[in-house]
C-alpha cells in the first residue's frame, strides 16, 4: 500500500513517514527542495520533487497514481506572509485534492487548523491563514471522489508524544505534540469509517487507537 504525503519535509510529515514505513507502507513525500531528500530517505520515505505552487493537476496526479491514500500536510510556515497562505495553505491543498480525485485515490486526509473558517475575520497574517485553511477544507468537502477526513489539531508542540489524545468534532483549544498528531493520522488512514468527518485534536487521556475507533463509531 502506497501513501503520498504533500509537504513531505514538514515536522508532522517526517514523523508520519517514520510511522507508516514502520508499519510496512510504501511512503512517498512531495518536496520542492531536492536537498531535503536525504531526510525523507532517513525517515523511510521516497522523496518526490514537486512544487505544489507551480505544478499542474496532471503533474501531481501522476505522482499519486497507484496510491492507497493521500495526506495533505503542507504549509507555508509561520514565517510566511499573506500571499503564501493563499498559494500554499489554500491553493496547494485544492490542487492536491483535485489531483487525488483525478488519480482515483479516494482516501484523503487533510491536516488543517483549529478555527479554520473561510469567513474568519481579521487583518493579521494568522487571520488570512485561517481563511485559507477554511477555504481549502470547504473545497475538499465538496469533492465527490474523495473519502476525506479533515484533522484540526490544537497548538502544536515538539514535546514527546504521550499516545493519549482527545479526538472529537469539537474539543476546545489545547496543545498537542506533533508526534501524537502523526500517530492519529496514521490510524485515520487505516480507518475509512472516519470518512466525511472534520475532527479536532488535542492532548487527552484516550489512547490514539481507541480515540480513532470511537469517532469511527467502532
CB 203 within 8 Å of CB 180:
yes
Asked if pLDDT for residue 116 goes beyond 80, the answer is yes
Distance from C-alpha of 113 to C-alpha of 92, rounded to nearest angstrom? 15
Question: Going by C-beta distance under 8 Å and a sequence separation of 6 or more, which residues neighbour residue 84?
Answer: 76, 77
The pTM for the full model equals 0.96
What pLDDT score does 80 carry?
86
Provide the percentage of residues in the chain whose pLDDT is more than 70. Answer: 100
Give the three-class secondary structure for 50. coil
Instruction: Choose among 91, 20, 17: nearest CA to 60.
Output: 91
- Name the maximum alpha-carbon separation found in the chain: 45
Asked if pLDDT for residue 218 goes beyond 80, the answer is no
DSSP 8-state symbol, 161: P
Which residue numbers are catalytic? Answer: 129
Amino acid at each position: 500500500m502506497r501513501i503520498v504525503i504533500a509537504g513531505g519535509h514538514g515536522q508532522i510529515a517526517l514523523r508520519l513517514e517514520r510511522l507508516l514505513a514502520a508499519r510496512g507502507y510504501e511512503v512517498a513525500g512531495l518536496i520542492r527542495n531536492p536537498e531535503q531528500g536525504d531526510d525523507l530517505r532517513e525517515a523511510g520515505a521516497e522523496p518526490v520533487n514537486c512544487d505544489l505552487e507551480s505544478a499542474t493537476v496532471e503533474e501531481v496526479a501522476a505522482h499519486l497514481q497507484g496510491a492507497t491514500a493521500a495526506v495533505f500536510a503542507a504549509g507555508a510556515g509561520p514565517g510566511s506572509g499573506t500571499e503564501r497562505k493563499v498559494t500554499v495553505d489554500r491553493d496547494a491543498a485544492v490542487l492536491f485534492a483535485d489531483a487525488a480525485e483525478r488519480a482515483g485515490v479516494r482516501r484523503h486526509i487533510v491536516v488543517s487548523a483549529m478555527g479554520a473558517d473561510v469567513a474568519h475575520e481579521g487583518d493579521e497574517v494568522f487571520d488570512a491563514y485561517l481563511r485559507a485553511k477554511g477555504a481549502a477544507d470547504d473545497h475538499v468537502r465538496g469533492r465527490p471522489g474523495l473519502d476525506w477526513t479533515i484533522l484540526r489539531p490544537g497548538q502544536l508542540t515538539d514535546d514527546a508524544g504521550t499516545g493519549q489524545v482527545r479526538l472529537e468534532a469539537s474539543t476546545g483549544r489545547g496543545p498537542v505534540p506533533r508526534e501524537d498528531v502523526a500517530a492519529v493520522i496514521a490510524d485515520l488512514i487505516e480507518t475509512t469509517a472516519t470518512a466525511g468527518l472534520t475532527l479536532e485534536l488535542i492532548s487527552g487521556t484516550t489512547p490514539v487507537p481507541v480515540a480513532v475507533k470511537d469517532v469511527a463509531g467502532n
